[in-house]
Structure 1
Amino acid sequence: MSKPKQSTRASSASIQERRKAQLQRQKKKTVILLTVGILLVVVLFAAMFVLASKNTGSPGSPASPVSFPYDKLPRLGAADAPVKLVEFGDFKCPACARFSGEVKPQLVEDYIDKGKAALYFVNMSFLGPDSKTASFAALSVYHQNSEAFWKYYDALYANQGDENTEWATEDFLVELAQKEKIDIDYNLLRKDIKERTYADELADDNAIAENNHVTSTPSLFINGIKTNEPFNLEAIVKAIETASKAVETE
């Protein structure tokens, strides 16, 4: 009688082993399926991100160039120039003074004077209270004599005070215009500074900066596309040439 019992026990143990092996195979399949599912989800989201990046971009990217109100901005060069350069600057910004002294003259010589490009300026007054004061003065000059704006622009940067002090006072700004013989009414300049005549226009300029995620000065856009290297003349020249060719093929 003992032999059948041993056979039954052996049979039961075999069944349990088969069940364990079956459960292990099912677990492995479940793990594999979960892993594949996770990978598919990751790939799907990555593809969606790449597609979204191609279709939409931040303002100033090649996918989403900025459309500026060019006719309302100070302009150096021909209005019909095929390449439009837009500088965001703060008259208290030392880096902007460097741009004015090093980069702008080269752009003027190689492109602006030849009618290939025009330079536009957007006030971005954020470094101090007198950033706004300087912008009020510059806007007053612009509205009195648009051609004199750039001479005053250069004078402001060339005579820039310390970034951490309030040097752009009403007296300083008027006296600088007189010293440089800027062809405007100096009494009107003082009045415009004192009464903040162009406060709304300055607010519009700062809004252009904010709406297009401009957070530092100088920032340079070339036909609506932002360059991340405003001091790299080689990169700027390449971007200008690319923009020029794109206009030609339109």
Structure 2
Amino acid sequence: MPPKKQTNALAQRKSAKEQLVQQQRKRRLIWFSTVGVLLVLIIVVLSLDPKPVVKAASFDYENLPMLGQSDAPVKIVEFGDFKCPSCKIANDTIKPQLVSDYIDQGKVAFYFMNLPFLGADSTTAALAVQSVYHQNKDAFWTYFDAIYDNQGDEQTEWATADLLVGLAEEIGLEVDYDLLRSDIENKTYLNEVNEQYGKANDLKITGTPTFYIDGVQYTGSFADYSEFKQAVEDALKN
């Protein structure tokens, strides 16, 4: 090949090589730019830390014992066992302050569901309160508090029919005591107790007391009223 033609061929190859190098640089630049934009977007999304959407549990509020007014903007449901020492602590520390701060103000309605899992007499106590609820709804919470005030040792079977009927008589509860005994011994409201227990199982509740505030499980301390109060305040804002 003549020298001039060789020179032209070399120049063409050099030009083609330079074009290829430039194209590769452009592709790398585009790739790095794309990755950079994606990383920035990921960082922004993570920094927002969106809270997961929690589906609120539903409850048959109309058929549960209620403390307060049914039209209260916030509804709290407690799952409890009358043999549970922690339930007694919550009843002594949380509920009285809820009554004065929110329930008496018409801001909160408080409901109760039985979760009798500690012993056979847990169910006996649940049957007793269901009987009182159906006889005289206004007497329910007086009886509720009286059982916790007279709570026996968790390891002993203390919630007997004799004790529960005797307690109702002692505090002058306005119910038929013979009917109360009959309802306990004949397990009149066992289906209701089992339904409430089943609801707890559906919600995967593992212990008592467990509270739901407007259908969302409260996961804070039940012995710290300030923490519980903040959860109620947050619910009132929604």
TM-score normalised by length of structure 2: 0.77
Q: CA deviation at 1:234?
A: 1.6
Residues 95-132 of structure 1: per-residue CA shift (max 9 Å, x gap): 11111111110000000011000110010000000000
Q: 2:173 aligns with which of 178, 182, 188?
A: 182
Q: 1:218 aligns with which of 199, 209, 220?
A: 209
In the alignment, the residues of structure 2 paired with residue 232 and residue 97 of structure 1 have an alpha-carbon distance, to the nearest angstrom, of 14
| 1:237 aligned residue | 229
In the alignment, the residues of structure 2 paired with residue 164 and residue 185 of structure 1 have an alpha-carbon distance, to the nearest angstrom, of 30
Letter in 2 for 1:218: P
In the alignment, the residues of structure 2 paired with residue 241 and residue 166 of structure 1 have an alpha-carbon distance, to the nearest angstrom, of 39
Letter in 2 for 1:237: K
Q: CA deviation at 1:239?
A: 1.3
In the alignment, the residues of structure 1 paired with residue 207 and residue 216 of structure 2 have an alpha-carbon distance, to the nearest angstrom, of 15
Contact 2:93 2:225 in 1 (8 A): no
Tell me the SS of whatever aligns to 2:97. Answer: helix
Structure 1 stretches of 4+ moved >4 Å: none
Aligned sequence identity (%): 49
Tell me the SS of whatever aligns to 1:100. Answer: helix
In the alignment, the residues of structure 1 paired with residue 98 and residue 127 of structure 2 have an alpha-carbon distance, to the nearest angstrom, of 26
Q: CA deviation at 1:207?
A: 0.7
Q: How does 1:75-224 map to 2 (within 5 A)?
A: 75-224=66-215
| 1:71 aligned residue | 62
* Runs of 5+ unmatched residues, structure 2: 1-41
Which is further off, 235-244 or 200-209? 235-244
Q: CA deviation at 1:232?
A: 2.1
Tell me the SS of whatever aligns to 1:217. Answer: coil
Letter in 2 for 1:195: N
In the alignment, the residues of structure 2 paired with residue 224 and residue 236 of structure 1 have an alpha-carbon distance, to the nearest angstrom, of 15
Q: CA deviation at 1:65?
A: 1.3
* Runs of 5+ unmatched residues, structure 1: 1-42, 55-61
In the alignment, the residues of structure 2 paired with residue 128 and residue 116 of structure 1 have an alpha-carbon distance, to the nearest angstrom, of 35
Q: CA deviation at 1:231?
A: 2.0
Residues 69-93 of structure 1: per-residue CA shift (max 9 Å, x gap): 1111110000000000111100000
RMSD between aligned residues: 1.7
Contact 2:64 2:112 in 1 (8 A): yes
Letter in 2 for 1:242: D
TM-score normalised by length of structure 1: 0.74
